[in-house]
Amino acid sequence: MKINTIIIAAILIVGAAGAGFSETQAKDHDRLILKYGVDTNGLQNYPSTISSTFPLIGAASFNVDLGTSFSAEIQHPVSDMLGIGLGATYNMNRNISGQTGQFSFLPVYATVSVFPLGNIAGLAPYAKADLGYTVAFTGNDAYKAPAPFTTTLYGGVYWGLGAGIKLIDTIYVDLMFTSYSGTYRVALNPLSTDFPILYTKVSLTAGMGFNL
């Protein structure tokens, strides 16, 4: 947690220093935004046991340990109060609490930012919504069903809602609730069964914007 705090603080300091040498952003400039996030202890429904009468799977909701993530977004300003764009977030591997199983999601998404006071230099609050699809859902061997079963992981719908502040036209800090869905398929030829996965968390992210 201390390392995460240092990284976010460094982003804020570097962004503030860089802003002192930059001019106010032109309203018609597209912008690349790079962010680092700290993900709170979330929840995931996850297959807890595989019965001897396969394909029945027991299910439970498990806590997920603290994680980190990296995001990249391209934002296009439609007006002073609205920005649209595309993004992707890589969630670093995180553990199911009390287990050695680790998993990760990588969604791509469309994003909309609304600036109620205008997209201005200085201090501009915004509301943000994401909607997309998880193109990569991965897990280590401990996360998957034991032999002789085989496990295949498929992505699903991703969405996020939150709010943030753009500081001195360079730094972006936001708080987001995000939801990731996927499919956990277990097979033992010729039988297979699908289990829906849902992972939810709250993330605090900080990043910097660069004019394109």
Q: Does the 2-211 domain belong in CATH 2.40.160.20?
A: yes
Question: Residue 23: its pLDDT value, please?
Answer: 42
pLDDT at 15 over 50: no
Domain positions in the chain are: 2-211
pTM of the model: 0.84
pLDDT, tens digit, for every residue of 115-159?
998 877 788 999 999 999 999 999 999 898 888 889 999 999 999
State the pLDDT at residue 192.
Answer: 86
Taking the C-alpha atoms of residue 19 and residue 28, their distance in angstroms, rounded to an integer, is 18
Say if CB 39 and CB 70 are below 8 A apart.
no
Q: Among 96, 102, 103, which Cα is nearest to 60's?
A: 96
pLDDT digits (tens, 9 = 90+) for 149-208: 899 999 999 999 999 999 988 899 999 999 999 999 988 888 888 888 999 999 999 999
